[in-house]
Amino acid sequence: MRAQDSATAPRTIAVTTTDPAADRTGGTVRTGGTSRTVSTGDTSRTGDTSRTGSARSAGGDPTVTRRPGRVARRGTGTGTATSGNRADPLPRGTLLAALGVLSFSLTFPSTVWGLESFGPWSLVAVRSTLAALVAGAFLLAGRVPLPERRHWAGLAVVAGGVVIGFPLLTTLALQTSTTSHAAVVVGLLPLTTAAFAALRTKRRPSRTFWCAAVAGAVVVLAFTVQQSGGAVSRGDLYLFGALLVCAAGYTEGGRLARLMPGWQVIGWALILCLPLMAVGSAVALSAEPVHLNAHGLIGLLWVAAGSTFFGLYVWYRGMASIGIPKASQLQLAQPLLTLVWSVVLLDETLPLAAPLAAVAVLVCIAVTQRARS
């Protein structure tokens, strides 16, 4: 616009305000021959728009400074707000939960290594004690206050399920079962966790979600029965018991992770078990033989720091972000990952049905992740 035009043809510049309480009436304010339409209430506001009336550009346009975050479209005279929120194609919570599954997939091979040096009771007690010491160091370094009294019951469920129950029952099962067999049985954990979560939180996933979850569980169960010849052993009973207690611990831990950071959930659950596990370590180490070797020490360190602390830390953060049902379905990939580790680390023979089961399970995971929960 030419300079002489600004004196004869008033311009109208619409400037939006961010005051939610203002009743926009579209009042007009004139300054130096230029009219501005300002969306305000009954009174003029100067905080929404800063104007330097004496400074003009060569073309006669006044210099108007608007709030940061507002984008003005030149030529239209209107201001538009940008939210800055974009859809993330792969949520961070999914990545954290997947990292937890990767950590868990190494638990059984590490447990088998640990049993080369320790007895089952010693391994469980010592791993929990070491994990509690690691968690305690982080809690002290962060000067984390004690949880509220109302959270201790939930922490006790987490402690009983994922700190004591699941490690103990799976360790006892691995004395008679192979890693690959135990892995596919525990593949039923996602469906069990989703069922516990539905009962605990009173939220009902969609029908598509349940159909895909049940299909994945059927695939895992069929794979298990085919590999075991249709028989149910004592080790299988241990594993089924481990499914129940772990699903309860996962569900309660996922709920608590919405109220406090995930690492604090598992940290305080470990601290809650520390007195019992410290005494149990002393008793078990005196009663069971110990034959230290490299495999045994590596296995012990991983199940203590990797699976029990780090794995549960990222797992609970992931569940708090994307929800317990969806996160639990990512664990359908855990038995297949464990099968790979059993071949690489333990020289076990990979069943021929594993690739077919892998494809079917991955399809189920894709469906459950897209279904609304």
Q: Which of 214-223, 249-258, 278-287, 364-373 has the lowest mean pLDDT?
A: 364-373
What average pLDDT does this structure show over 225-231? 71
Q: How confident is the model at residue 231 (pLDDT cuts 50, 70, 90)?
A: low
pLDDT higher than 60, residue 38: no
The predicted model scores a pTM of 0.68
What average pLDDT does this structure show over 87-113? 85
pLDDT number for residue 2: 43
Gap between the Cα atoms of 255 and 262, Å rounded: 10
Name the more confident of 180 and 260: 260
The two structure tokens encoding residue 279: 């005494």
Gap between the Cα atoms of 191 and 31, Å rounded: 68
pLDDT number for residue 44: 40
Torsion of CA 304, 306, 307, 313, to 10 degrees: 110
3-state secondary structure of 265: helix
Summarised one tens digit per residue, pLDDT across range 113-127 is: 999 999 999 999 999
3-state secondary structure of 103: helix
Burial class of residue 138 in the structure, from the number of CB atoms within 10 Å of its CB (0-12 exposed, 13-18 middle, 19+ buried): middle
Summarised one tens digit per residue, pLDDT across range 141-169 is: 999 999 999 999 999 999 999 999 999 99
Summarised one tens digit per residue, pLDDT across range 247-299 is: 999 889 888 988 888 789 999 999 999 999 999 999 999 999 999 999 999 99
The two structure tokens encoding residue 333: 């990939």
Element holding 161 (H helix, E strand): none
What average pLDDT does this structure show over 339-365? 82
pLDDT number for residue 50: 39
Which parts of 288-333 fold into alpha helices (H)?
294-301, 312-322, 324-330
CB-side neighbour CA atoms (13 Å) of 104: 30
Most confident of 50-54, 248-252, 324-328, 367-371: 248-252
